């Protein structure tokens, strides 16, 4: 979340950010109204407490009716102070509810734009492939080769779910192992966190309340299915204070992720948009100085997977209107799927500045004698599996309807070169 003092002292900065990010300016108006009421209550409470303290020092010197009068007046003052203290607590809760819905401030390097069309292509790698035959779409290849079962996946759970089977399952497992190995060599510590998280965790990384309709909620236990491993890995250090020498920390994690895709059509044929998917996550805890520079390295670490797989891709710098709620700056990596002639987002790499750390209360101590400060967090997919699988299947298909296994994955598949 944003610092309350920042919102209070720079309302026009916040208003401009809300406009550029397609959020209602009413969020700021609501904050200013509630915060104003809170400050009035604080001022009145402080004045009355000062008055009560002054009276307490005078009462022993008073006598008779005058003494009783002051005592009676102070009883009324004490009752009013109790009312004001209760009011302050209620206003603090209301104010926090508003602040939790205000998005992060965009970094100055982020282009201003309303939606996807305002994003900027900053890099293109490889050349989109063209075939001398009519290429099949990934779901056609999956069904023809019997490596994806959409019918039985839907039968087990419902639309938006599928089964990977045979060499399809082995290919996805090989991808997971390959990605984790690459990220290990890049200096990340591997984590296997819980796949179910509590409300504090989804608040901490910014999914709640903004994205609550996109998450699966276990009502009985008030727990949430993991929407992305960013949530459990970041919240590992919730309410902790690092020593400066403990930073940076880099983690990678594999977890299945779950999203309801509320308001979107998850029934589109294939595995491009589904409710359950595997993903490799990169999460970083760094000092505030240089966190934007570290974003460039994080992005390169995710790009290394696409380059190793020899998949054509491009990098987008997202505009203000297309960034995620908690992000200050985001790059999207899009792999090319030639049969559909689509660019598919396979990774989103973001710097959150201290936005998540402030919500999750993750700090560091600059020096042993100094007050603790909030760290910065970064996160990136390294990569999301379904769309990476789509890109591999469509790019590596043959005229005979087979799929050539990328060379870097063959050691993980016992040397197998072809699916078909």
pLDDT by position in tens, the chain (length 420): 999 999 999 999 999 999 999 999 999 999 999 999 999 999 999 999 999 999 988 888 888 888 888 889 999 999 999 999 999 999 999 999 999 999 999 999 999 999 999 999 999 999 999 999 999 999 999 999 999 999 999 999 999 999 999 999 999 999 999 999 999 999 999 999 999 999 999 999 999 999 999 999 999 999 999 999 999 999 999 999 999 999 999 999 999 999 997 656 554 789 999 999 999 999 999 999 999 999 999 999 999 999 999 999 999 999 999 999 999 999 999 999 999 899 999 999 999 999 999 999 999 999 988 999 999 999 999 999 999 999 999 999 999 999 999 999 999 999 999 999
**How far apart are alpha carbons 162 and 165 in whole angstroms?**
10
Sort 125 into a burial class: Cβ within 10 Å, 0-12 / 13-18 / 19+.
middle
Beta partners for residue 350, in sequence order: 330, 379
Asked whether 104 and 2 are in contact (CB, 8 A), the reply is: yes
- CB contact set of 6 (below 8 Å; sequence gap of 6+): 13, 14
Q: Which of 178, 348, 163 is nearest to 274 (CA)?
A: 163
Sort 263 into a burial class: Cβ within 10 Å, 0-12 / 13-18 / 19+.
exposed
Question: What's the whole-model pTM score?
Answer: 0.93
**Residue 361 in tokens:** 């209360």
Sort 106 into a burial class: Cβ within 10 Å, 0-12 / 13-18 / 19+.
buried
Q: Which of 169, 162, 174 is nearest to 147 (CA)?
A: 169
């Amino acid at each position: 979340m944003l610092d309350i003092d920042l919102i209070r002292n720079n309302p026009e900065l916040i208003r401009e950010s809300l406009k550029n990010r397609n959020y209602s300016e009413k969020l700021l108006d609501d904050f200013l109204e509630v915060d104003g009421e809170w400050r009035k209550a604080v001022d009145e409470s402080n004045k009355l407490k000062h008055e009560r303290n002054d009276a307490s020092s005078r009462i022993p010197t008073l006598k008779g009716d005058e003494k009783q009068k002051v005592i009676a007046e102070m009883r009324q003052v004490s009752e009013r102070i109790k009312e004001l203290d209760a009011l302050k607590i209620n206003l603090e809760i209301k104010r926090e509810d508003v602040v939790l819905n205000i998005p992060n401030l965009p970094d100055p390097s982020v282009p201003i734009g309303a939606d996807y069309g305002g994003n900027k292509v900053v890099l293109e790698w490889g050349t989109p492939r063209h075939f001398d035959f009519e290429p099949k779409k990934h779901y056609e290849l999956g069904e023809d080769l019997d490596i994806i079962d959409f019918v039985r996946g839907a039968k087990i759970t419902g639309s938006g779910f599928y089964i990977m089977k045979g060499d399809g399952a082995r290919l996805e497992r090989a991808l997971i192992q390959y990605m984790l190995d690459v990220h290990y060599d890049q200096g990340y510590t591997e984590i296997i966190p819980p796949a179910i998280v509590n409300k504090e965790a989804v608040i901490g990384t910014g999914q709640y309340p903004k994205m609550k309709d996109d998450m699966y909620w276990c009502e009985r236990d008030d727990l949430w299915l993991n929407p992305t491993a960013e949530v459990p890995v970041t919240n590992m250090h919730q309410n902790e204070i690092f020593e400066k020498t403990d930073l940076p920390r880099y983690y990678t994690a594999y977890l299945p992720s779950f999203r309801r895709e509320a308001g979107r059509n998850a029934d589109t044929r294939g595995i491009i948009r589904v409710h359950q998917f595997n993903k490799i996550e990169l999460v970083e805890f760094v000092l505030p100085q240089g966190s934007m520079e570290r974003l460039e390295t994080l992005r390169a670490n995710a790009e290394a997977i696409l380059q190793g797989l020899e998949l054509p891709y491009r990098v987008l710098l997202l505009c203000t209107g297309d960034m995620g709620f908690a992000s200050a700056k985001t790059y999207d990596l899009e792999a090319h799927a030639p049969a559909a002639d689509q660019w598919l987002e396979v990774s989103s790499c973001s710097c959150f500045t201290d936005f998540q750390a402030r919500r999750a209360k993750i700090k560091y101590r600059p020096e042993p004698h100094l007050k603790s400060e909030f760290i910065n967090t970064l996160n990136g997919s390294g990569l999301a599996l379904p769309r990476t699988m789509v890109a591999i299947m469509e790019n590596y298909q043959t005229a005979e309807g087979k799929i050539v296994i990328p060379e870097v994955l063959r050691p993980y598949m016992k040397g197998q070169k072809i699916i078909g």
